């Protein structure tokens, strides 16, 4: 599917990876880019239409689907993270809140936009997941739980939307250099690289995107006798 000439909606487009998506989509010749953010005033990107969308707010999701009926590509990028031990009962509320943003948000957006994508020719949904859909890091358990669930949702959506011709793409990055990893001292991929790989994947009708060595080595390990979800990622 060509990006050029398409109408695309990106969630969490005011900063980080989402901002890069919006900028690169304009450069790639998208006909229109809806740059969605909780605060549309925080979107500072040339050539986009800033719109208000809190992905965890069902009324916002419904209003977006009512208004933006020309969307052909939905990029579920908005996400949040949380530190803390999952074994601590005090973490449960945080898990619930993270689920609203990382799982229920993209799920309900895809539900709301699926008929629109169908009417507009099939199009594509991109779910920005993580290598942590497949492995867990200590002290980041809630995030892994949410990204694993979002991967399961993605796999169901692939089957449910195939018949209407909607491509469902999952992206599984390791660390990306954004605010989310500001306190992390480890190799990071640039947002530009991640977005380039995703846009190429859409153009090639590719359903899964691995953007770095971490993603590739974790994926490779899954069918071995020592998968990295058992041993942990080497540091």
Ligand X SMILES: NC(=O)c1ccc[n+]([C@@H]2O[C@H](COP(=O)([O-])OP(=O)(O)OC[C@H]3O[C@@H](n4cnc5c(N)ncnc54)[C@H](OP(=O)(O)O)[C@@H]3O)[C@@H](O)[C@H]2O)c1
Using the Cα atoms of residue 143, residue 149, residue 152 and residue 154 in order, give the sign of their dihedral: negative
Please tell me whether residue 107 binds ligand X under the rule CB under 6 A.
Answer: no
Please tell me whether residue 101 binds ligand X under the rule CB under 6 A.
Answer: yes
> What is the spatial distance between Cα 174 and Cα 219, in angstroms, rounded to a whole number?
12
> What is the spatial distance between Cα 39 and Cα 226, in angstroms, rounded to a whole number?
44
Going by their DSSP bridges, the two strands 124-128 and 167-171 should be labelled as: parallel
Please tell me whether residue 141 binds ligand X under the rule CB under 6 A.
Answer: no
Kindly state the smallest distance separating residue 225's Cβ from ligand X, in Å: 27
Please tell me whether residue 79 binds ligand X under the rule CB under 6 A.
Answer: yes
Kindly state the smallest distance separating residue 177's Cβ from ligand X, in Å: 7
Kindly state the smallest distance separating residue 68's Cβ from ligand X, in Å: 15
Please tell me whether residue 163 binds ligand X under the rule CB under 6 A.
Answer: no
How far lies 10's CA from each of 98, 219, 228, in Å? 19, 26, 31
Residue placing its CB nearer to ligand X in the complex, 37 or 136: 37
3 state SS of 14: coil
> What is the spatial distance between Cα 111 and Cα 114, in angstroms, rounded to a whole number?
5
Please tell me whether residue 15 binds ligand X under the rule CB under 6 A.
Answer: yes
Residue placing its CB nearer to ligand X in the complex, 118 or 197: 197
Please tell me whether residue 196 binds ligand X under the rule CB under 6 A.
Answer: no
Residue with tokens 């925080």: 42
Kindly state the smallest distance separating residue 36's Cβ from ligand X, in Å: 7
H helices present in 4-45, as ranges: 16-27
Residue placing its CB nearer to ligand X in the complex, 164 or 207: 207
Residues that bind ligand X (CB under 6 A): 11-12, 14-18, 37-39, 54-56, 77-80, 101, 128, 130, 173, 175-176, 178-181
């Amino acid at each position: 599917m060509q990006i050029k000439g398409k109408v695309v909606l990106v969630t969490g487009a005011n900063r980080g990876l989402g901002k890069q998506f919006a900028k690169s989509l304009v450069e790639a010749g998208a006909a229109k880019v809806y740059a969605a953010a909780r605060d549309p005033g925080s979107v500072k990107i040339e050539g986009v239409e800033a719109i208000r969308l809190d992905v965890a707010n069902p009324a916002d999701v419904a209003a977006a689907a009512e208004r933006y009926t020309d969307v052909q590509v939905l990029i579920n990028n908005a996400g949040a993270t949380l530190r803390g031990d999952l074994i601590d009962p005090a973490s449960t509320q945080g898990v619930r809140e993270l689920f609203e943003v990382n799982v229920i948000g993209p799920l309900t957006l895809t539900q709301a936009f699926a008929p629109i994508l169908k009417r507009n020719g099939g199009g594509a949904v991109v779910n920005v997941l993580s290598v942590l859909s497949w492995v867990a890091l200590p002290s980041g358990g809630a995030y892994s739980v949410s990204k694993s669930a979002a991967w399961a949702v993605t796999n169901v959506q692939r089957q449910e939307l195939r018949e209407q011709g909607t491509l469902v793409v999952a992206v599984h990055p390791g660390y990306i250099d954004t605010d989310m990893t500001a306190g992390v001292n480890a190799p990071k991929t640039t947002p530009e690289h991640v977005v380039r790989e995703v846009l190429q994947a859409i153009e090639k009708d590719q359903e899964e995107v691995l953007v770095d060595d971490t993603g590739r080595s974790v994926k490779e390990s899954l069918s071995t006798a020592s998968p990295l979800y058992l041993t942990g990622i080497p540091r």
